[in-house]
Amino acid sequence: LAYSGAFFTLTYSPLKTLILGTPKSMWPKKFTELNDNDMPSYAMKLQCTVVIIIILLASFASTDASAFYNILTLMANVSMTLPYLFLVYAFPKFKRNRDIQKPFEVYKSPAWTTVISWVVFLVVLGANTFTLIQPVLENDDIQSTIWMLVGPILFGLLGVIWYHVRQRKITQD
């Protein structure tokens, strides 16, 4: 249960950032409505429902729930760090953009920002790469590597499909 709760925590902040940081036209109206605490509560309730269904299916529909959670963990290994790669890659461009107001800045030097960003990018990319190949190198366990790739690929494809569906809807409106 603690591990399942961690998925809620780790996905809450990106969910809020994703919904509030993208154009409202990309989401159904209910997803962008904020409650009294400035939270996209409908999207959070939907996410909660999906996670609960996955947990119930894993727990009761399978004879080996631990195998499902192991696969879920493998998928999360790489999936949870990929957004950081995108953020670190975009950070120097964000810093160079003078049109965005930045009331608080830690890194003032553009060169230093770029160096730090690339070092972090390469470290996280290297960690992901070694996480993917480690099961194959140590145990000839290609199945674990495949499961670690399925998470980002599956949800990446779902994101691309969602984007194109919403773009088509915007164009029609």
In one-letter notation, the amino acid at residue 24 is K
Q: Which distant-in-sequence residues (6+ apart) come within 8 Å of 11 by Cβ?
A: 47
pLDDT confidence band for 4 (50 / 70 / 90): low
Q: Answer positive or negative: Cα dihedral of 31, 34, 38, 44.
A: negative
Alpha helix ranges (H) inside 22-141: 29-32, 41-60, 65-79, 82-96, 110-139
DSSP letter for 33, please. -
Place of tokens 């160096």: 115
Give the mean pLDDT of 94-113. 82
Contact assessment for residue 19 and residue 32, using Cβ atoms and an 8 Å cutoff: yes
At 11, is the pLDDT very low, low, confident or very high (cuts 50, 70, 90)? low
Q: How far apart are the first and last CA of the chain?
A: 43
Token pair of 79, please? 């999936």
How far CA 80 is from CA of 32, 72, 124, 145, 166, in Å, comes to: 23, 12, 11, 15, 25
pLDDT tier for residue 157 given thresholds of 50, 70 and 90: very high
Which of 6-10, 16-20, 84-88, 168-172 has the lowest average pLDDT?
6-10
Q: Residues 6 or more apart from 117 whose CB is under 8 A from it? A: 88, 89, 91, 92
In the numeric block, which tokens belong to residue 71? 């696969």
CA 105 to chain centre: 25
Judging by beta carbons within 10 Å of its beta carbon (0-12, 13-18, 19+), is residue 8 exposed, middle or buried?
middle
Provide the pLDDT confidence category of residue 171 given band limits of 50, 70 and 90: confident
Q: What are the boundaries of each domain within the chain?
A: 1-61, 64-173
pLDDT at 120 over 90: yes
